[in-house]
Each structure stands twice: as C-alpha cells, then as structure tokens.
Chain A
Amino acid sequence: IAGITQAPTSQILAAGRRMTLRCTQDMRHNAMYWYRQDLGLGLRLIHYSNTAGTTGKGEVPDGYSVSRANTDDFPLTLASAVPSQTSVYFCASSDTVSRGYTDTQYFGPGTRLTVL
C-alpha cells in the first residue's frame, strides 16, 4: 500500500518561476490537505479539499492554488515563486468525517522546496 506519494522529493527554483507540487493518494480518502512546515512555526494549512471538485483556503493560502479534479490527486501550484515560499510541503488525506469525531490524517513524505 503506497498511501500518499509526493513529487518531487526536493526542488531548487528560481524566483518568479511557476511550480506544481504533485500529490496522489490511493486510500480513496475524501479529504486532502496541503501544509507547509517551517522551523518554529509547526505546520500551517495552505489549502484543503473536502471532496473531489471542491477546495477551500487554509491559514496561509496567498501565492498558492490547488485543484481537485478527482479523488486521488491534489496538486499545489505556485504561480510565481518567491523566496518566502522556501519550505517543506506536506500533503495529507483523511477519510470522511464521521459523526462526533474527526478522522486521522495520513501524511506524505514531503517536498523540500528552495526558492532563490
């Protein structure tokens, strides 16, 4: 069982360039998420999707966009990268929220992005 895969593993990018981070899950989870992890700040939610065809903004959405054309894929695009977007990016998924509690999130291995 692969779980969640992310690509690329790492990338160095010139400022102003466009970049898409890929995320695929094989667990048929309804919900998917993108986080960035920065030292001393923990994980911050960028965008999320409750189900295929819908997306929502998280805590730090500016400069990022997402799409959810199907259940399995949830790409994150940086339209014009800036150095402040240097970070480690994690994709996650969770099953349908059950009545009364929220399901576990499953994380991918991350993409380390450096914007110069």
Chain B
Amino acid sequence: GDSVTQMEGPVTLSEEAFLTINCTYTATGYPSLFWYVQYPGEGLQLLLKATKADDKGSNKGFEATYRKETTSFHLEKGSVQVSDSAVYFCALSESGTYKYIFGTGTRLKVLA
C-alpha cells in the first residue's frame, strides 16, 4: 500500500541555518504531495503542496520539489528562524481519493 517515510527527529538547528527534512513515498498511482506544519498545541496546517511531477511548492521561505524519479519530496529552507520550531508532516494523497497518508512527523527546534 501507499506509504510515506520521513526522517527521524528531533532536528536541532541554530537560527539562520539551512534546513532539509527528507521525505520519500511509495504509491501505486500519481499522488499529490503535501507538507503540513503543527505548532505547539495546535492542529496541522498546510505549508505547501505539489500536485504533479517536477512541481515545486513554496511558502514562507520553505520549498519542496516533487521528484518522481526518486519518489521524494524533501522540505528545505535556506535560513530558519526560532518561529519555525514545530513538527513537520509529509503526506500524500492519491489523485481522485479522499484519503491521506501521513508520515510520522519530524520535530524541528531552532535555537536563537
């Protein structure tokens, strides 16, 4: 079945460091790919998404490119801030379905 694998956390970085959180997936069809962010005590909210191969999703300085050849959707940010401290979830959904598959989440802690 479909699955999402993301890197184990926690990830601890200093402010202004470069961030990469790896995400790979397995899917039988052509899924849409998502990154969601969860701040402490809140629900998940969409960070960015890509709906087809080679699409790049971007938001708030974060970006991720849908790589079909490597089945990956790695999240990157050039310069993290303390306010980026949160848990990040990679997810996929097969086209035409209502179901999502979420990764286990990666906790990011950014130190001032």
Residues of A within 8 A of B (CB): 4, 31, 33, 35, 40-43, 45, 48, 50, 58, 90, 92, 94, 97, 99-102, 104-110
Contact = CB atoms under 8 A, between A and B. Distances in A.
A89 to B, nearest CB: 10
A100 B30 CA distance: 9
Contacts of A110: 42-43
Nearest to A91: B43
Interface in B61-108: 89, 93-100, 102-105
Given A104-B49, A110-B43, A42 B95 contact: no
Contact of B98 (A40, A48, A101, A104): A48
A101 B51 contact: yes
A5 to B, nearest CB: 11
B111 interface: no
B32 A101 contact: yes
Given A42-B89, A42-B104, A43-B102, A104 B96 contact: no
Contact of A102 (B41, B43, B98): B98
What 4 A-B pairs come out closest when comparing CB atoms? A107-B43, A102-B93, A42-B104, A101-B51
A107 B103 CA distance: 16
A102 B96 contact: yes
B99 A45 contact: yes
A97 B98 contact: yes
A107 B97 CA distance: 18
